[in-house]
Structure 1
Amino acid sequence: MEKKACIAMVPCPGHGHLIPLLEFAKLLLLHHGNDFHVTFLIPTLGPPSPSTIAIIDTLPSNIHFTFLPPINIQDLHLQSPNPVPQMILTVRHSLPSLRQSLSSLSSRTKLVALVLDQFSLDALHLAKEFKISSYIAYSSGAATLSFELSFPKFDESVPESEFLDFEQTMDVPGCGYASFKVKDLPDPILFHRSSDVYTTYLSVCQKSLLVDGIIVNTFNDLEPEAIRALQQGKALRTPSPSVYPVGPVVAQPKQKTEVDECVAWLNHQPSKSVLYVCFGSGGTLSQEQINEIAFGLELSGHKFLWVVRVPSEIPNAGYVIGEKEKDPIQYLPPGFVNRTKGQGLVVPSWAPQIEILAHGSTGGFLSHCGWNSTLESIVHGVPMIAWPLFAEQRMNAILLTDELRVAVRPQGDKEDRMVKRDEIAEVVKRIMDHNDEEGLEMRKRIQDLSDAAAVALSENGSSTKALSSLAHELLNKSI
């Protein structure tokens, strides 16, 4: 049996959940590699994608991995296209093989903890079965976590007739900068209470209260009040799990022998002159909205690098297998690519986001406000245009615009919610015009946050101390 303590990590399907967990494992082992090694047990919906395999192949030798037998999507009997039940059910159907893998792991290592994604919590009972500690590696920020831990009480206390009023407000502990309306909260609560989306999400929130600790990808200067509320248990009437803010945990720019097309193009652009436009790994827009963005970018006159995806009326349709087979460029307005050849670069489906945000020519980010993208933009000091689509992204957008004031947000048409070209051009100019006072103030504020993020991760920083506290707790349990 190995002397190092072993931590088993179980992500749920989706790069947005796998990558933060991998980056956390790297960070833990960077600081405490003499004490631990990590094994990933990865539930899969079908065979692993080439991009997933490419990510796994870059892992250091003290991170091991096992792909659990793939689950057939037909066996999940999904009632809706929402990804939450899909992720949860994939893990649930993987429990027999997960138990086998944990049994094998415990027989040959000193297994001390099970670290789960929030949507892998169906595996929580296995921690008790193997007499090990349980943790969530939470993939969003402290504000959303505070909401989710307090949500079960909210669900109990609010009549269904009131809850269906999307204009009703809810005070989230530690988030005094906003009284969130129901329509601003994570997507699953917008479904009817009897739906599988709502009930599975509520179950996730209830199970989150039962773990030993929650590892949050945030840092004190980013969400001080929300972190304080969580650590003092203000989100609950009962004792809450220990909370460890260890962020920002983001991927680092890769050193490549071949220069990517996007980076090569950025190399020839002036400093801070390019607006990067991307809606994450799965965010999608309607055909009409794509047209308006295209005309708005053209009208703004500012340089842009746009990652275009096949249009859809479903905002998270990019997660659907098979969409990538189509060519997104063909859905742009006729003549747009040729007319803007000197102004912008359009790339289909995917781009090296970390390298783009870290590049000196990137001056702004039109973002869906996913938490990974938000942290990456903050780390690299890039102000944002907030354009939330689904999940908890509206909460993130309110944090960025109302509290941190490092982003602007288009309002869109009140009737059809479409953001028209004139407004798009206007917000682009607000954030990209270097003579605009508002834009200059945003740049200063986000650079201050970027500096604070670096301090948090420094040797004596708050996040490094939180990580050390977690490692100490895990080592004590291994004795």
Structure 2
Amino acid sequence: MATPTVVLLPVWGTGHLMSMLEAGKRLLRRRGRALSLTVLVMRPPTEQLASEVAGHISREEASGLDICFIQLPAVAPPVDHVGIEEFVSRFVLLHAPHVRAAISGLACPVAALVIDFFCTTLLDVSRELAVPAYVYFTSNAAMLALFLHLPVLHEEVTVEFEEMEGMVDVPGLPPVPPSSLPLPLMDKKNPNYTWFVYHGRRFMETDGIIVNTAAELEQRVIAAIADGRCTHGVRAPTIYPIGPVISFNPPTNQPHECVRWLGTQPPASVVLLCFGSGGFFTAPQAHEIARGLEHSGHRFLWVLRGPPVPGGRKPTDANLEELLPDGFLERTKDKGLVWPTIAPQKEILAHSAVGGFVTHGGWNSVLESLWFGVPMAPWPLYAEQHLNAFVLVAGMGVAVAMKVDRKRKNFVEAAELERVVKTLMGGGEEGWKAREKAMEMKAACRMAVEEGGSSYCALQRLSEELYKGAAVEVKK
């Protein structure tokens, strides 16, 4: 019999695409069950994104692993959307006939369809073809719990969340301030809110949910999901916490300039500021950061990106003369490095000179920080990052809280950044507790993915379930 294949359907964002691919490659490495991967590739809506995806695919095709990439026919993206959640959800739905045709045309047994969590509209395709369907959830179990509980909250909370008296109840989490919910949930009349509720409902139709977390990181919330507390007593699909799912590039012959600079700094003396693939600042906010760093007196490595070009979404390389205060680079040249383009975040976090991380709080960045035991100060900018920031501080204890003015587009004053950097790096009680907890999480993350660890065993259970699914004949 031909080797069964697992069909992956990612969305094109780097944090989604690469995480799902890495999870798929871990399935290929399971002993005792032969599986291949088939990746259905939706053409991204912009040429810049299409070029990035093509680069990722070229590198994966050169890896020699049993992965087949199938390019789906391009579709015209919707133009009347309100926000990114609505856009992605509707854009994905337009691919339904092409996904159906691609899966039906495969010559090998199909073990399962694994979809990104923005792709639940395509569960109808898996049902028509009688193919088991799983969601790959690139964020944490806390956000998954909110998704699953949102249909319940939609019925119970009749006002806007920010108009509530008190906190939002999400089983498994401490009481959540409404200000920590993702921005699309702040307006129930917004189509993005409607799509959040839609996806939360449809997760319940899947055969399982694969989550990029480790059981040890989020024990209470994983238990709450498994017990049905998030879904009004209805048992949720099986949860497979297989993380941290992190890809590591092979070492290069010549270390990156940022890494070489870190080699000249004392151990645990540098605070890293880096804000993901979508994080950027305008001059007023960059000036506040510069003043805060300078007044803190601590060493820093600041990855600073500039605003996108008109009509674009991706940050640009920073023009330091335009973004930084006069004389800042000269005054801080002995203590800091401002890097104006993309930097190798994992390699930087791995360096012994890094003692703290001011981060946007994207879940992939959080996992990288925990993997290396670096405490954080989350500065959420978009997506689910406000909830992540709350979880890191109140749920995990691995971070120092930062006052972010959400009404001013997540603005942070210089004095607040100065306070946070001093707390994170200076050895006060709050900073020390975060550091100790981050080191505990580092050990937990590494044990989870080792043979016999919780994530290793979850991946083994998933592999066995997927192999069973290959016995079902795909309907044509």
Conserved in 1, the CA contact under 8 Å of 2:110 and 2:469? Answer: no
**Residue 79 of structure 1: aligned partner:** 81
**Residue 38 of structure 1: aligned partner:** 37
2-side partners of 1:476 and 1:382: how far apart?
Answer: 40
**Residue 312 of structure 2: aligned partner:** 321
Kindly provide the amino acid, as one letter, of the partner of residue 173 in structure 1: P
2-side partners of 1:412 and 1:140: how far apart?
Answer: 21
When the two structures are superposed, what TM-score results if normalisation uses the length of structure 1? Answer: 0.90
> Which segments of 5 or more consecutive residues in structure 1 lack a partner in the other structure?
312-316
**Residue 348 of structure 1: aligned partner:** 340
Correspondent of 1:458 among 430, 444, 450:
450
Asked if 1:276 is matched to 2:277, the reply is no
Q: CA deviation at 1:442?
A: 2.1
Kindly provide the amino acid, as one letter, of the partner of residue 17 in structure 1: H
2-side partners of 1:363 and 1:319: how far apart?
Answer: 36
**Residue 287 of structure 1: aligned partner:** 283
Question: Residues 368-387 of structure 1 correspond to what in structure 2 (within 5 A)?
Answer: 368-387=360-379
Conserved in 2, the CA contact under 8 Å of 1:386 and 1:397? Answer: yes
2-side partners of 1:198 and 1:467: how far apart?
Answer: 32
Deviations 1:187-240 (A, max 9, x none): 22112x232212222211111111110001111211111111112222113231
SS in 2 for 1:101: helix
Conserved in 2, the CA contact under 8 Å of 1:92 and 1:122? Answer: yes
**Residue 303 of structure 2: aligned partner:** 307
**Residue 137 of structure 1: aligned partner:** 136
Correspondent of 1:208 among 190, 203, 221:
203
1-side partners of 2:436 and 2:325: how far apart?
Answer: 36
Conserved in 1, the CA contact under 8 Å of 2:359 and 2:365? Answer: yes
Conserved in 1, the CA contact under 8 Å of 2:30 and 2:463? Answer: no
Kindly provide the amino acid, as one letter, of the partner of residue 425 in structure 1: E
Deviations 1:159-203 (A, max 9, x none): 2x354516652211111xx21122211222112x23221222221
Asked if 1:243 is matched to 2:239, the reply is yes
Q: CA deviation at 1:340?
A: 2.2
2-side partners of 1:33 and 1:286: how far apart?
Answer: 53
1-side partners of 2:349 and 2:272: how far apart?
Answer: 8
Q: CA RMSD in A?
A: 2.3
Q: CA deviation at 1:257?
A: 2.8
Asked if 1:120 is matched to 2:124, the reply is no
Question: Residues 49-448 of structure 1 correspond to what in structure 2 (within 5 A)?
Answer: 49-59=50-60, 60=63, 61-72=65-76, 75-80=77-82, 82-105=83-106, 108-159=107-158, 161-163=159-161, 165=163, 168-175=166-173, 178-191=174-187, 193-237=188-232, 238-311=234-307, 321=312, 323-324=314-315, 327-329=318-320, 330-412=322-404, 418-433=411-426, 435-448=427-440
Deviations 1:357-416 (A, max 9, x none): 111221111011111111111011000011112222122111211222211122256985
2-side partners of 1:318 and 1:280: how far apart?
Answer: 17
Conserved in 2, the CA contact under 8 Å of 1:283 and 1:318? Answer: no
SS in 2 for 1:385: strand
2-side partners of 1:432 and 1:253: how far apart?
Answer: 28
Matched-pair identity in %: 37
Kindly provide the amino acid, as one letter, of the partner of residue 63 in structure 1: I
Q: Which moved more, 1:90-99 or 1:408-417?
A: 408-417
1-side partners of 2:157 and 2:98: how far apart?
Answer: 39
Q: CA deviation at 1:100?
A: 2.4
1-side partners of 2:165 and 2:71: how far apart?
Answer: 43
Kindly provide the amino acid, as one letter, of the partner of residue 206 in structure 1: R
Deviations 1:243-282 (A, max 9, x none): 1111111122431233222222222222212111111111
2-side partners of 1:322 and 1:411: how far apart?
Answer: 26
> Which segments of 5 or more consecutive residues in structure 2 lack a partner in the other structure?
472-476
SS in 2 for 1:58: helix
SS in 2 for 1:369: coil
CA, structure 1 residues 297+147, in 2 after alignment: closer, same or farther (shift >3 Å)? same
SS in 2 for 1:281: coil
1-side partners of 2:27 and 2:464: how far apart?
Answer: 12
Q: CA deviation at 1:284?
A: 3.2
Q: Which moved more, 1:321-330 or 1:148-157?
A: 321-330
CA, structure 1 residues 462+415, in 2 after alignment: closer, same or farther (shift >3 Å)? closer
Kindly provide the amino acid, as one letter, of the partner of residue 39 in structure 1: T
Q: CA deviation at 1:292?
A: 0.5
Conserved in 2, the CA contact under 8 Å of 1:166 and 1:181? Answer: no
Conserved in 2, the CA contact under 8 Å of 1:167 and 1:183? Answer: no
2-side partners of 1:144 and 1:319: how far apart?
Answer: 32
**Residue 314 of structure 1: aligned partner:** none
